[in-house]
Amino acid sequence: MVDDEDGINVLIVDDEETILELLDEYLSERGYNVDAVKNGLIALSMIKSGKYHAIVTDIDMPIMDGIGLYKSLEVSAPHMKDKVIFISGSEYDYDEHIKSLGQPLLKKPFKLSKLDSTIKTIK
């Protein structure tokens, strides 16, 4: 669990191990404090026990997907829902749905620098 009060704490949620490792390494090298988990259900328990400045979540995952995580946050931790950044490699077009939530969506493959700049826009 991330507990560094001085850094930017980021939770990455993706069922693809290679994506988790890539994003963890990239963000850690840039000074972020990173936790990485494989689904939204695990993420919910992490969010209860840690303070995150941003939650980067894949949309399509087993057990609990990114949209399910977002909807759970609306109920259990509404102060965190505005910290969600969605990522997706799906062929399904989530643009309108994510736009209606008011959250950023980065489509895989995206430039890692875009993720970094998007995290910095989260208040």
Give kind and range of the element (H or E) at residue 61.
none
Whether 1 maps to a domain, the answer reads: no
94 pLDDT tier (thresholds 50, 70, 90) = confident
pLDDT over 90 (residue 103): yes
Cβ neighbours around 24 below 10 Å, total: 17
Structural domain for 61, as ranges: 9-121
pLDDT for 49 = 78
The DSSP-derived string for 71-114 is HHHHHH-GGGGGGEEEEE--SS--HHHHHHHT--EEESS--HHH
21 pLDDT tier (thresholds 50, 70, 90) = very high
4 pLDDT tier (thresholds 50, 70, 90) = very low
Whether 107 maps to a domain, the answer reads: yes
Length of the chain: 123
Whether 74 maps to a domain, the answer reads: yes
Whether 36 maps to a domain, the answer reads: yes
What is the token pair recorded at 111? Answer: 């430039």
Whether 23 maps to a domain, the answer reads: yes
Which CATH number goes with the domain that contains 65? 3.40.50.2300
Q: How many domains does the chain have?
A: 1
Instruction: Using CA atoms of 92, 112, 3, 46 in order, give the dihedral in degrees to the nearest 10.
Output: 10
pLDDT for 6 = 67
5 pLDDT tier (thresholds 50, 70, 90) = low
pTM of the model: 0.92
Whether 4 maps to a domain, the answer reads: no
pLDDT for 101 = 92
